[in-house]
Amino acid sequence: MGFWKENIEIVKENDPAARSGLEIILTYPGIKALAAHKISHFLWQHHFKLIARMHSQFWRFLTQIEIHPGATIADGIFIDHGSGIVIGETAEIEKGVMLYHGVTLGGTGKDKGKRHPTVKSGCLISAHTQLIGPIKVGENAKVGAGAVVTKDVPAHTTVAGIPAKIVRVHGKNLSKEEMHKLDKERRVSFFD
């Protein structure tokens, strides 16, 4: 399945307002930003870094979605609305991730090398969420709207708040005691 066909189907699956493929191509900035990123990323990988940055900035202007050409993004991502999304240079996003408007996959400004988040397959990253630093968000995790995430998020959990804390595991709400215990345990990486 080609990029356009796959991404049109993903939008139709995830957005009940999507009525046709033509409407999606013409009016959904997320699909345009992802298509443009494929070109920018190709240029970046082939050492045309200035042209790649210029290309990505042009599409940032058109879509209000800023994706650094160095970011690694799998096919099969759904960007809903898109306005205000920022994806940093070393960010990695796997297939099946949903990103809503205002999401930042950013760095702290202190890290060297890998300095942006890795978002594993099936994650839902809600509106106005800030994922900061070289953290990992595990498979099928959910991040609540407006959360600020600075620690790894285990697979199949939901985090919310500022700073983000685990509030659900496998869809089950946690008591305050369970949340406190899990938050303490998060100091040790779930991905080692």
- Kindly list the domain boundaries of the chain, sorted by start residue: 3-185
Write down the pLDDT at residue 1: 63
Q: Which ranges of the chain have pLDDT less than 50?
A: 188-192
**Entry pTM:** 0.88
Write down the pLDDT at residue 169: 87
Domain 3-185 has CATH 2.160.10.10: yes
Write down the pLDDT at residue 186: 61
Write down the pLDDT at residue 191: 44
Write down the pLDDT at residue 133: 95
Amino acid at 8: I
Strands (E), 14-129: 65-67, 72-73, 78-79, 85-87, 92-93, 98-99, 104-106, 118-119, 124-125
Q: Is the peptide bond before 163 cis (omega within 30 degrees of 0)?
A: yes
